[in-house]
Amino acid sequence: MKRLLGLQGFSLLIILGWMLPNLATTYVYPDEIGVRRSLFGGIEEQDFQQGRWLDVPMVHSWYRLPRTLHYLEFADADDLDVRTREGNLIHVDLVIVYKIKDGAAHTICREGMATSYPHRVRSAVEGFLLKHMASMSNKDIQDPDVRIKTALSAIGPLNQRLSQYHVEVVEEGVVIRAISFDAPYEERLQAKQLYAVQAELDVAEQRRSEGKQATDTVQKGIDKEVAVERENWNERVELARRVTETMIAEVDAEALEYDRRVRAEADAEYDRLVAEGERAELEAQALGEKLRAEALTTKAGRIYAAIEAVRAFELGQIELNSLDPGFLQRFGSMASWRRFFGGE
């Protein structure tokens, strides 16, 4: 039994541990500014940022103000109807971007404006802008730079007026989105602007025509100069071509004359060398004959001549006369044959 009671107690502690953070705290989201009110101390002097904060039931209550930017729009049926310096009625479509000042959310709640400050801001802004925008003339309205300057110049005075509500307009937080006149005047104004634009277009067209004419004149001058320059270049090219052809002809003539001269000299040298060669060959032949003759006059030469004679000798049919007693003496011995062939 005790063990069961212990388990129940432990379970109760776990449940309480899970529930108490949610029962005794509240969570402030990133896009919120938390303001805590105590039953005993009233509004606390603190803006609570994102996170979980102590919230005792029956003791604390919370205000949640937006941390993000506020957009106050004057558009469509709620646009600003302002009269210009000339007394013309204009309809201004604009937006005011503002935010709660840092650390001022609890002051707004303490002064009782937690839910009413947007309406008070709108009323203050509208009253100021009706006077501020009336400072523009009809001409100023048509100039974008003047409109932007007028919008930006409203930020400082607006912040002075809105400081009592603890909010401030951000940098460049006044944006004029559109300005229009009443329909009849708007039509006349648009017609006037159309005429002005048409006049500017006519002037631009005239300038374009004058520019085209000037361009055509310049182009003609350029074309003429180009034609003259092209003719000059053609003459220069023709002259250079003729000079080149003359130089080539001279080179060809010199080459031909050189070829003929060198060929003639080469032919003459060739004939001379051939003649010298033939003379040397004849001299060599004569010298060879001389040397051969000289060699044949020697004993060895006579022997060689005898050998050659023997080789060339052919003995034909000879009729011998046996009654001739001198035959054997003339042809029958080696001595006779040596005398016959060798001349001994």
Per-residue pLDDT of 283-306, as tens digits, reads: 778 777 777 766 666 766 667 766
Does residue 139 carry a pLDDT above 80?
yes
Determine the pLDDT at residue 272.
Answer: 81
48 phi and psi angles, rounded to 5 deg = -90, 125
Place 21 in a pLDDT band, splitting at 50, 70 and 90: low
For residue 68, give both structure tokens.
């993000």
This prediction's pTM: 0.52
Q: Give the residue carrying structure tokens 């002259």.
A: 239
- More confident call, 65 vs 287: 65
Using CA atoms, how far apart are residues 2 and 14, in angstroms rounded to an integer? 18
Using CA atoms, how far apart are residues 117 and 165, in angstroms rounded to an integer? 7
> Could you state, in order of their start, the residue ranges of all structural domains in the chain?
22-68, 71-181
CATH 3.30.479.30 fits 71-181, yes or no: yes
Does residue 277 carry a pLDDT above 70?
yes
Place 164 in a pLDDT band, splitting at 50, 70 and 90: very high
Query: Exposed/middle/buried for 175, CB within 10 Å: 0-12, 13-18, 19+?
Result: middle
Per-residue pLDDT of 32-61, as tens digits, reads: 999 999 988 899 999 999 999 988 888 999
Determine the pLDDT at residue 295.
Answer: 66
CB burial of 48-68 (b: ≥16 within 10 Å; e: otherwise) equals beeeebebeeeebeebbbebe
- Find out whether 299 and 338 touch, Cβ atoms under 8 Å: no
For residue 129, give both structure tokens.
């802008």
Task: Indicate if the alpha-carbon torsion angle 39, 45, 47, 52 is positive or negative.
Answer: negative
